[in-house]
């Protein structure tokens, strides 16, 4: 599998929690080379750590690996999300070689321009009642706990990683409707910024959606799916899963023709 990329986007790592798949992420980061690494929010789960921190050696190793990559020449950009919003106060600063920004604009090798943000700014646009949100949070937490037990058993049986929460999201109507509304909000935002697409995380569901030559890219997460968004040297975007059996999940949908522009303003 390819190990050199022009750009890599990861989000929703949730370091500091038991759900974090730090071992898989560390293995991924140690096996790749990239010019640009975007940390697209919820990298360290400061919210969860207020109640109970679970920052084991592999979590420290992930942080050390990112800093080592920054030191060795990778341009690392950290865009805080809602779980690590504390770091937003440092936007515009560079700490240990890592640039902290509220959002970014990324130009691919083939000249397209993408807005990059965590995605929690769409929470108010994607309508969901406080009660359903609370129920969803508890159910999601339960699924993550079950996910650890299930994958512990699968490892014992020699089976590869599998995401329970990912399966549920793909098969329950209300979850699918929520994801669709989120994707629509991101696509509208990209068009309002007059850009070719939007790259985000937040909802823990990696996917591509192409509508009216505007491309939505969600890089997924590292608690359920172990996914990253990658850009090749030619500018092609792909979704990659990395665990015991790394594989390419999808490559970006191909429109008949992209409208390429020389700068961000159109």
Please list the pLDDT of the chain residue by residue as tens digits (266 residues): 679 999 999 999 999 999 899 999 999 999 999 999 999 999 999 998 998 889 999 999 999 999 999 999 999 999 999 999 999 999 999 999 999 999 999 999 999 999 999 999 998 767 544 433 443 454 556 666 666 666 667 666 777 776 666 666 655 556 677 788 899 999 999 999 899 999 999 998 999 999 989 999 999 999 989 999 999 999 999 999 999 889 999 999 986 645 444 443 33
Question: What does the pLDDT read at residue 168?
Answer: 61
Q: How many residues does the chain have?
A: 266
Question: What does the pLDDT read at residue 194?
Answer: 93
Tell me if 13 sits within 8 A of 222, measured CB to CB. Answer: yes
Tell me if 183 sits within 8 A of 210, measured CB to CB. Answer: no
Question: What does the pLDDT read at residue 22?
Answer: 97
CA trace torsion 171, 172, 178, 183 (10° rounding)? 10
Token reading at 9: 């986007």
Tell me if 41 sits within 8 A of 119, measured CB to CB. Answer: yes
Cα gap 194→214, rounded to integer Å: 10
Question: What does the pLDDT read at residue 180?
Answer: 86
Cα gap 49→83, rounded to integer Å: 10
Q: Set out the domains of the chain in order of their start, with CATH numbers.
A: 4-251 (3.60.21.10)
* pTM of the full structure: 0.82
Strand, coil or helix: 216: strand
Closest by CA to 108, choosing from 185, 199, 184, is 199
Burial of 162 (0-12, 13-18, 19+ CB in 10 A): middle
Question: What does the pLDDT read at residue 166?
Answer: 62
């Amino acid at each position: 599998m390819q190990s050199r990329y022009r750009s890599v986007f990861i989000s929703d790592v949730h370091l500091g929690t038991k759900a974090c798949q730090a071992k898989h992420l560390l293995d991924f980061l140690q096996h790749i080379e990239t010019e640009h690494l975007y940390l697209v929010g919820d990298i360290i789960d400061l919210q969860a750590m207020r109640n109970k921190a679970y920052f084991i050696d592999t979590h420290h190793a992930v942080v050390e690996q990112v800093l080592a990559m920054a030191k060795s020449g990778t341009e690392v950009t950290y865009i805080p999300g809602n779980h690590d919003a504390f770091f937003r106060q440092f936007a515009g600063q560079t700490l240990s070689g890592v640039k902290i920004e509220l959002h970014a604009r990324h130009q691919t090798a083939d000249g397209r321009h993408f807005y990059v943000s965590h995605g929690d700014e769409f929470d108010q646009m994607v309508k969901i009642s406080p009660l359903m949100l609370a129920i969803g949070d508890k159910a999601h937490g339960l699924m993550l706990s079950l996910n650890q037990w299930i994958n512990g058993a699968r490892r014992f049986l020699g089976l590869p990683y599998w995401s329970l929460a990912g399966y549920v999201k793909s098969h329950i109507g209300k979850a699918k409707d929520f994801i669709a509304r989120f994707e629509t909000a991101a696509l509208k935002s990209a068009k309002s910024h007059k850009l070719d697409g939007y790259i985000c995380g937040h909802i823990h569901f990696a996917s591509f959606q192409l509508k009216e030559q505007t491309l939505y890219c969600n890089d997924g997460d590292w608690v359920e799916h172990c996914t990253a968004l990658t850009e090749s040297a030619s500018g092609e975007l792909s979704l990659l899963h990395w665990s015991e059996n790394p594989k390419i999940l999808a490559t970006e949908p191909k429109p008949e023709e992209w409208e390429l522009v020389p700068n961000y303003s159109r």
